[in-house]
Structure 1
């Protein structure tokens, strides 16, 4: 495996480990073990845990943005809205670790900011802003439509992350034929 392929493996493993354990609760040793490399090798690919977390977080945001952009290619208005929503729902059903990593990003940035580490959140904010801008353009640059779209997505994130099953009353405002709720591992 080339160094670039190994780096990709490490990023995928980091997405899973950080999603499940958060920034502070995940060791680089666990990530190295998941990939089958030594911890010193891991640090040849990424200079420290923070750089590895940021690579995983940035990848998650980029993959989300690209999936929604591809789904909405050539579409406008409600068609673009629905295509992006379906693409996002597929992402969180097929790979719930990406959803959980998003939630962990918010916690990690907030904790870093509280500790005075303001630069930690800059790449994550930049990635989230790119996601927002991409959706905004595909939704006709309508600020209210973009806010509505993103806020529904965030509500879905919260409800899925908290493990509310599809039949629970908190989902009552959603058309559940259009919001597949991932099953949680026991």
Structure 2
């Protein structure tokens, strides 16, 4: 396997492990073990745990943005919000770790900010801004529709992470049951 292929393996493994354990609760040892490499090799691919986390966060945001762009491009006229919402729901059902990674990004940035590290969140905020802009443009640059779409998505994230099953009354009037 080439270094670039190993790097990709590390990013995928990091998404899984950070999604489950968060930034503070995930060791580079567990990521290296999942990939099948030594920690020294892991640090030849990435200079630090922080760099691994930021690469995983960037990939997660990029993949979500691509998902929304593709859904919007393939949507029937007037059906962009529904197509993007359905694509996101499908992602949650088939790749829940990306949803959990998103939530862990928010926690990691808040924790870093609280401890005085204001640089940690910068690349994540930039990635999130790009994701928001992707959604905004796909929705015809309508501020209210963008805000509503993002709010509905965060509600979905929260309900899924809290373990509310489809059909539970908490989903009533929101998203697809």
Give the TM-score normalised by the residue count of structure 1: 0.92
Aligned residue-pair number? 177
Give the whole-Å Cα distance in 2 for the aligned partners of 1:35 and 1:124.
24
- 1:5 maps to 5
Once the 2 structures are TM-superposed, how far is the Cα of residue 102 of structure 1 from its aligned partner? Answer: 0.4
Q: Does the CA-based 8 Å contact 2:152-2:174 persist in structure 1?
A: no
Give the whole-Å Cα distance in 2 for the aligned partners of 1:50 and 1:162.
27
Q: Does the CA-based 8 Å contact 1:22-1:108 persist in structure 2?
A: yes
> Over aligned residues, Cα RMSD in angstroms?
1.3
Give the whole-Å Cα distance in 1 for the aligned partners of 2:66 and 2:125.
17
Give the whole-Å Cα distance in 2 for the aligned partners of 1:106 and 1:96.
16
- 1:154 maps to 154
Give the whole-Å Cα distance in 1 for the aligned partners of 2:33 and 2:122.
29
Once the 2 structures are TM-superposed, how far is the Cα of residue 108 of structure 1 from its aligned partner? Answer: 0.2
Q: Secondary structure of the residue that 2:141 maps to in structure 1?
A: coil
- 2:73 maps to 73
- 1:88 maps to 88
Give the whole-Å Cα distance in 2 for the aligned partners of 1:62 and 1:22.
19
- For structure 1, the residue ranges without an aligned partner over 5 or more in a row are 180-186
- 1:123 maps to 123
Give the whole-Å Cα distance in 1 for the aligned partners of 2:102 and 2:5.
24
Q: Does the CA-based 8 Å contact 1:81-1:149 persist in structure 2?
A: yes
Q: Which moved more, 1:82-91 or 1:115-124?
A: 82-91
- 1:104 maps to 104
1:117-138, Cα deviation, whole Å (9 max, x unpaired)? 1110011101111011011011
Q: Is 1:40 matched up with 2:43?
A: no
Q: Is 1:55 matched up with 2:55?
A: yes
Q: Secondary structure of the residue that 2:120 maps to in structure 1?
A: coil
Give the whole-Å Cα distance in 1 for the aligned partners of 2:20 and 2:61.
17
Q: Does the CA-based 8 Å contact 1:15-1:98 persist in structure 2?
A: yes
Give the whole-Å Cα distance in 1 for the aligned partners of 2:122 and 2:52.
15
Give the whole-Å Cα distance in 1 for the aligned partners of 2:78 and 2:155.
20
Give the whole-Å Cα distance in 2 for the aligned partners of 1:77 and 1:21.
41
1:38-81, Cα deviation, whole Å (9 max, x unpaired)? 00000000000000000000100000001110111165774111
Give the TM-score normalised by the residue count of structure 2: 0.96
Q: Secondary structure of the residue that 1:140 maps to in structure 2?
A: coil
